[in-house]
Every structure is written in structure tokens, then in C-alpha cells.
Amino acid sequence: MGWMHQHVDVAPKPPSTVAKGRKIPPPIERVVLRALAKAPADRPPSMEMFALELAVALNAPTEPPRWLRILRACARALVAAVALLASLARRLVGNARRFLRAGGLAIGRGARASAAGAWKLSRACGAATKRGARGVSAGVWRLLLVACASAREAATLVVAGTRRVARSLAAAAKAISVTSPARAGRSAVRGVRSLVATRRRRILARVRRQAARHTRQAPPRRDPAAFRPRALSRQAALATGSARGPALRGRRRPPGRAGPPLS
């Protein structure tokens, strides 16, 4: 009964597990297991079909050993990893190129902007320097013009003052050389005549006093008109022929007025 139960219910073992040490190809093992299937629908319908499947399994290529399959699987995994790494490297390189391009563009733009700013700054500095130099030159030129004008005015004033002083000195010298001797002579003559007249008056007064003392008579009253300095000055002017002389020559001497002799 156990054999019958196994024949009906228990699935058969693969031939590779029963025949140890024998290399049974997997296609033949699959055909054998299908022929030993419990259900009639799972078995080949006829012997011709079984023979055909067995011929196909015998002509099928042999499956490689396990180590080779493991090596191939490792190789495939390695190739997949290399491909993945290559794709990652491509992406990294692409991103790096993009980053470098963006950075290069940014650096180029920054360098261009810096160069433009430096150029504008240099132009502004040059323009400011030119303006400052022009302002300084204009100020120096104006200062020179003002200094020249001041020097010219000072020279003009000095020349004018020198001319005035020279004219004054010339006029003074001319006046001294021309008019002063005549005036000095006239003044000297007037002084001498007034001195002589004063001396004469004193002598006459002394003589009269002595005569009155001897005769014990009162001295005669002195006539003030006879000793007036104005009359003496007029007499001196008439004698010297001054400017007042012609005006006094036509006048007559009033009576009773005595004066010094005109000779």
C-alpha cells in the first residue's frame, strides 16, 4: 500500500538527486520529471511528443557549471556597476562642466564689470586730474596777472611819485636859484635900513634928552607917525622897487610925517 500511495500522491525526486556523481543536463531532467507527473494533463499526450521533447532536450546546449554562472553573474553585476558609475561620472562631469561654465561666465562677467569699473574710475580720475591741473594753471595765471598788474601799478605810482618829486625839486631849485637871491637881497636891504633907522632914532632921542636936561625943558612929544614901521616898510619898498613900490610912487607923503632919507 505504501508503494501505491507514493505512486499516486508523492512527487518523484529529480534524477540529479538520486544519481549523485552523474551530470544530468537540466533539460533532460525537466523532460523526465514531466513524463513522471501525477496528473495526466501535465504529462506528454503521446510517445511521439515525449520523443520530440527528449530530442529537443538532448540537442539543447549544455548549461554551464555553477562557478561559471556565478562568475558570469559577478561579471554582469560588475558591468552594471561600472555602467552605473560611468553614468554617475557622466552626470558629475556634466554638472561640473555646467558649474564651470556658469562659474566661468560669472567670473568673466565679474572680470568684465571690474575692468569696466576700473576703466571708468581711471577716466574719472584722469578727468578730475585734468580739471584740477586746469584750475591750478588758471589760478596761477590769474595770480601772475594780478601780480603783474600790481607790479605795473606800483611801478606807475613809483614813476609818478618820482616825477612829482623831481618836478618839486626842480621847481624848488629854480625858485631858489631865480627868486630867492632877489628876495634875500630885498630882505637884507630892508633889514639894514630898519636897523639904521632904529639906530638913528635912538641917537636922536638921546640927544634930545641931553638937550632937555641941559635946558631943563620937557622933551618934545614924539610924533608916532614919524616912527611907524609901516612907513619905514613903505620907504624901503620904494627904495628897493618891490611890487608895492609902483603903487606907492604915485602917492604923496602926508604933511608932517617925517621919515628917513631915501638916499
Is the residue at 17 inside a domain? yes
d(CA 257, CA 234): 13
Q: Look at the block and give the residue holding cell 564651470.
A: 100
Is the residue at 136 inside a domain? no
Is the residue at 16 inside a domain? yes
Cell matching residue 37: 507527473
Q: What is the pLDDT along the chain (263 residues), one digit of tens a residue?
A: 567 767 777 777 888 888 777 778 888 888 888 888 888 888 888 888 888 988 888 887 766 677 888 888 899 899 999 999 998 898 888 888 888 888 888 888 888 888 888 888 888 888 888 888 888 888 888 888 888 887 788 778 878 878 777 877 777 776 666 556 667 677 778 888 888 888 888 888 888 888 887 676 555 555 555 545 554 455 555 555 544 444 444 445 555 544 555 44
Query: In this structure, how many other beta carbons lie within 10 angstroms of the beta carbon of residue 31?
Result: 21
Is the residue at 218 inside a domain? no
Residue 240: is it exposed, middle or buried by C-beta count within 10 angstroms (0-12/13-18/19+)? middle
d(CA 28, CA 54): 7
List Cβ neighbours of 244 (8 Å cut-off, separation of 6 or more). Answer: 234, 237
The sign one gets for the Cα dihedral 8, 13, 15, 20 is: negative
Q: Are 12 and 42 in contact (CB under 8 A)?
A: no
Q: What is the pLDDT of residue 233?
A: 52
Is the residue at 9 inside a domain? yes
Is the residue at 46 inside a domain? yes
d(CA 57, CA 254): 200
In Å, what is the CA distance from 9 to each residue of 4, 17, 42, 254? 9, 19, 14, 209
Amino acid found at 62 = T
Nearest to 196 by CA among 112, 122, 261: 261
Is the residue at 43 inside a domain? yes
d(CA 251, CA 242): 15
Q: Per-residue b/e over 222-239, b at no fewer than 16 CB within 10 Å?
A: eeeeebeeebbebbbbbb
Number of domains in the chain: 1
Structural domain of 22: 1-63
Q: Per-residue b/e over 41-50, b at no fewer than 16 CB within 10 Å?
A: eeebeeeeeb
Is the residue at 125 inside a domain? no
